[in-house]
Amino acid sequence: MLPPIETIVENFTFIEDWEERYRYVIELGRALPPGDESLHSEVNKVHGCASQVWLDLGLDSSSPEPRLSVRGDSDAHIVRGLVALMVALFDGKTPKEAAATDAFALYSELGLAEHLTPQRSNGVRAMADRIRRDVVQLAAA
């Protein structure tokens, strides 16, 4: 089970060594539930990522105010960890809260933008853009 995003950010502040941070990102990816066949569909595929990435956003209407339900997966360990960051950041938020959230800012705040390849950074931006687009569609529905 993924820790809340606040805990993840706090943990990053305590981990100074970048090798350890990479390991922590991979550990976050391992905490994601395994993706099933319905997640690994073309409609959920995020284009613009070097690795295979799938994201699925839905609305959980069981609470008075609908909240996002976010699932994700990747075929690469480090990218799966980056997907886990997105899931932790957006899962459980209202569409309005999610629309106001800058996922790439978090990625930069954690120092990941300067320590991962430009290709991985582009993939994170593609994930953030995809989530923003899906949130707008869900909010309009």
Of 25, 49, 83, 89, which is the active-site residue?
49
Structure tokens given for 73 = 């997966």
Catalytic site includes residue 33? no
* 20-to-14, 16, 45, 89 alpha-carbon distances in Å: 10, 8, 29, 21
Strand partners, 110: none
Catalytic site positions: 49
